[in-house]
Structure 1
Amino acid sequence: MNVFDFSLKLNGFPIAKAKRVLKNIQSKTENDFNAFAEVQKRAIVAYHLEHNPFYKSFGKQIDLNDWNSIPVMTKADLQQPLEQRLSEGFTRKNIYINKTSGSSGHPFLFAKDKFCHALTWAVIQNRFGWYNINFNSSKQARFYGIPLDKAGYYKERFKDFLSHRYRFSVFDLSDEAFEATLQKFKTTTFHYINGYTSAIVQFGKFLQQKNVILKSVCPSLNVCVVTSEMLFEVDKTLLETQFGIPIVNEYGASELDLIAFQNPNGNWQLNSETLFIEILDEHNNVLPHGETGRIVITSLYNKAHPFIRYDIGDIGVISKKSTPKTPILENLTGRTNDIVILPSGKKAAGLTFYYITKSIIENDGIVKEFVIEQLKLDTFKIIYVGNERLSEAKKQTINQEIEHYLESGLQIIYEKQNNLNRQKSGKLKQFTSHLNQN
């Protein structure tokens, strides 16, 4: 029985229709696809200008014949009651509602019409199908957060049951918890792993310490898909070694769709079927492929709520090898609000700072994981979990490398903790700036 698809259908999401529409989109030739995308872009803007009072007010100066006349929408623009943002004919009773994680600092409720949400799942199933994963039959080992209240906890467990998955909580990454996780893999026919990068990497490190290859104790495993957090090459290599299966990188946003998914050729293929993705500079000018800028996305099928030229808050590059039908995300460099601002005025991506430190701090196994916070222009705190405190010599090496890559005169504070604070969702934010960047 197709339990996953049936549960979607039972909740009013027309998954069968969505799969047919997706298949039709994917069957188009390159030339036909380009023309189709242009028609769909214009259609979704026209729909919201006619049927959505919020967007009609937001986009007063829009010329449907000039895509660049369409204003860029930010998360801050959407921080108002959901009812004020819905299109005519849509209410809380006939839509899909969820809340963003708030990792950008701007959490808000969002909505999708039921067909749009079904289409989201059709795309996700299609991508996982590249690796012979079927959501109706393949068993998932899920590394995610889980509500700690009783009602929320059992609700998620029931959803996991319907979705053919078993959840490992990311709120306990102790050796004792991972020992229990390993035993579960030994006794369960898991077909794939899916979840937050940081937690899965910690499990990989545990397996490395135990000298265990996961595939050898769970032969049914085919692939591991990591999501929501950055995956560094050194961690990908670790996971490939300790899991003994391909490691696939996923990039998505709950309010939109799956944005990019690593294809079997190793490229991060962008979702062109349900999204239109642009790279813009700081003045909202479209950048050519190969240049770094803000990732701005239009949801082509969401009639309940407009996400049109929506600045998701991330920075990236679209490859020059891209085509309209098969665009490739060459690089994802972090979030726009995760920028290091230094006393000299120099700026750097927060994950650059994190990566400099990571290359030193984790190479001897003393530190399990860590995060970095910018407290002042010249002051940074490295909060870490480990078996023992960092030596003064190790701290000095880190300080020297930071000075080499960034600049001198920075104050680095080190703080050892028993565990790191994760967001309610279970995500780990590797770099946080506490500066007021408004």
Structure 2
Amino acid sequence: MKLFNLSLWINGFPLKKAKRAIEAIQKINDTEFEKYQSQKKEEIVDFHLKHNPFYKSFAKKANLNDWNSIPIMTKRDLQQPLKNRLSEGFFKKNSYVNKTSGSSGDPFVFVKDKYCHALTWAGFIKRYDWFDIDFNSSMQARFYGIPLNKKGYYKERFKDFLSKRYRFSVFDLSDKQLKKNLSKFKTTKFNYINGYTSSIVQFAKYLKQENIILQTICPSLKVCIVTSEMLFEEDRSLLEERFGVPVVNEYGAAELGLIAFQNPKTEWLVNTDDLYLEIVDENNSILPYGELGRIVITSLYNKAHPFIRYDLGDIGKLSKESTVRKPILESLVGRTDDIVKLPSGKKAAGLTFYYVTKTIIEDDGNVKEFIIEQLKIDTFKISYVSGYELSEENLTKTKKAIAKYLEPNLIVDFERKTVLKRSNSGKLKQFKSYL
């Protein structure tokens, strides 16, 4: 039984329809593709100008005949109650609802219409098939976090079951835990590894320490797919050496889905099926291929919520070899996360704070930005920008979450600020260690 496909169908996501659409889009020839893309850009802008009061107010000067007149939106623009941003006819109950990770320091709740979300999954399925990975039958070694509250925990575990995944902890990257991870690979026929780059790299470092090639003890392993964090070339070399399989770079965002995926020729191909990507300068002018700038993306099919010329906060550039039909992402100045070191000797992925920050995200958009700094081995500081002070209840919830995800008896200080210091790239680094 194809449990993964069945689970999407039960939840109202028309996967079969989406797969047919992706197949049809990918068959459009190079000559016709630019026309198709322009048509879809115009259609999605027109739809939201007519059916989304928030976007109509936001894009007052938009001219459908002039793409440069379409304003660029940021996460800050979307930090207001979700009900204000929904298109007519769309509600939480008939849409896909989720939260952004907050890894850039700008969290918010968003929705996608169900067909748009099905297109996202159809795109993932198509690309994973390049490496002979089937979501219904291939076993995944998953290096992701997991909520520790009962409801969230069991929901994720159930999703893991449906998706043939075994989840390894990213909250504990000690040698003792990594040894247990290795034992699981000895007894399970994993077909691929997927997850946070930094956690997977820590596992590879352990394998190097033990002088082990993973595929020799897990011959079924075909590929390693890393996501959510920057993949440096030296880390790629380490992963390929220690795992004995190809390493694939994936770039995505919760609110948009798949942005770019590396093909078997190691080209990092931008997803042009349901997204339109631009690189712009500080004046919002579109840059030519080969020049570094801000990544701005339009979701061509999301009618529930506008993501039109949406600035992700990432910096990157497209290769000079790119074409309209085949844009190639040459480089990405994305999020990088340090490893958290704790008094007990335990280590954890920096993205552990992804889950902690969920406790301070509120749908009313109060918290605008935040960063977390490790000042000492046992001391952390959370600096945040908000409309009003966090309540004692929220502060307590956050401290309890940190104790649960990391370890107890850590010192956590909070400071509300009017502005947070940014890096030279203009992006906030969510976690920084001064150790």
What TM-score results when the alignment is normalised by the length of structure 1? 0.78
Within 5 Å, give how 1:90-101 maps onto structure 2: 90-101=90-101
CA–CA distance in structure 1, aligned partners of residues 231 and 375 of structure 2: 20
Task: Identify the residue that residue 421 of structure 2 maps to in structure 1.
Answer: 436
Aligned residues of 1:145 and 1:424 also touching (Cα < 8 A): no
Partner Cα distance (1:367, 1:127) in 2 = 36
2:137 and 2:164 in contact (8 A); partners too: yes
Asked if the contact 1:228/1:251 (under 8 Å) is kept, the reply is yes
**C-alpha distance in 1, partners of 2:295/2:209?**
39
Query: Does the C-alpha gap of structure 1 residues 196 and 284 become closer, same or farther in structure 2, counting only changes over 3 Å?
Result: same
1:280 counterpart residue number: 280
Query: How far 1:169 sits from its partner (Å)?
Result: 1.4
Number of residues paired by the alignment? 361
Q: Which residue of 1 aligns with 2:149?
A: 149
Of structures 1 and 2, the one with the larger relative CO (CA 8 A, separation 6+) is 2
Task: Summarize the alignment of residues 299-310 of structure 1 with structure 2, pairs less than 5 Å apart.
Answer: 299-310=299-310
1: CA distance, partners of 2:4 / 2:347: 36
Summarize deviations over 1:318-372 as a string: whole Å, max 9, x none: 111111111100110236xxxxxxxxxxxxxxx7xx99xx9xxxxxxx998998x
Tell me the secondary structure at the aligned position of residue 284 of structure 1: coil
Answering whether residue 285 of structure 2 is matched by residue 255 of structure 1, we say: no
Q: Using the alignment, how far apart are the partners of 1:422 and 1:68 within structure 2?
A: 48
Q: Deviations over 1:198-252 (max 9, x none)?
A: 0000000111111111100000000000000011111111110110000111000
Cα–Cα, structure 1 residues 263 and 367, in superposed 2: closer, same or farther, change >3 Å?
farther
Determine what percentage of the aligned residue pairs are the same residue.
62
Q: Which stretches of structure 1, 4 residues or longer, exceed 6 Å deviation after superposition?
A: 366-371, 381-385, 421-425
Report the Cα distance in structure 1 between the residues aligned to 2:164 and 2:420, rounded to whole angstroms.
43
Do the aligned residues in 1 keep the contact of 2:223 with 2:247 (CA within 8 Å)? yes
Query: Which residue number corresponds to residue 135 of structure 1?
Result: 135
Whichever residue aligns with residue 307 of structure 2, its letter is: F
How far did residue 160 of structure 1 move? 0.2
Instruction: Give distance in 1, aligned partners of 2:296 and 2:404.
Output: 25
What is the match of residue 358 of structure 2?
Answer: none
The answer to whether the Cα contact below 8 Å between 2:116 and 2:301 also exists between their aligned partners in 1 is yes
- 1:210 matched to 2:210? The reply is yes
Gap runs ≥5 in structure 2 = 340-344, 351-372, 378-401, 407-418, 427-435
2:82 maps to: 82
The whole-number CA distance in structure 2 between the counterparts of 1:424 and 1:259 is 29
Give the Cα–Cα distance (whole angstroms) in 1 for the partners of residues 149 and 61 of structure 2: 47
The one-letter code of the counterpart of 1:209 is: Q
Asked whether 1:21 is paired with 2:6, we answer no
Tell me the alpha carbon deviations over residues 236-282 of structure 1, each in whole angstroms, 9 at most, x when there is no partner: 11110110000111000000010011111111100011100000001
Code of the residue aligned with 1:436 in structure 2: it is: K
2:7–2:162 CA contact under 8 A, matched in 1: yes
Question: Partner of 1:162 in structure 2?
Answer: 162
Cα 1:257–1:214, aligned 2, differ >3 Å: closer, same or farther?
same
Structure 1 residues 212-251: aligned runs within 5 Å: 212-251=212-251
Task: Tell me the residue number matched to 1:322.
Answer: 322
1:34 aligns with 2:40: no
Q: Take 1:60 and 1:423, find their aligned partners in 2: how far apart are those partners? A: 47
Which residue does 1:10 correspond to in 2?
10
| Counterparts of 1:273 and 1:234, CA distance in 2 | 31
Aligned amino acid, residue 184 of structure 1: K
Q: Aligned with 2:301: secondary structure?
A: coil
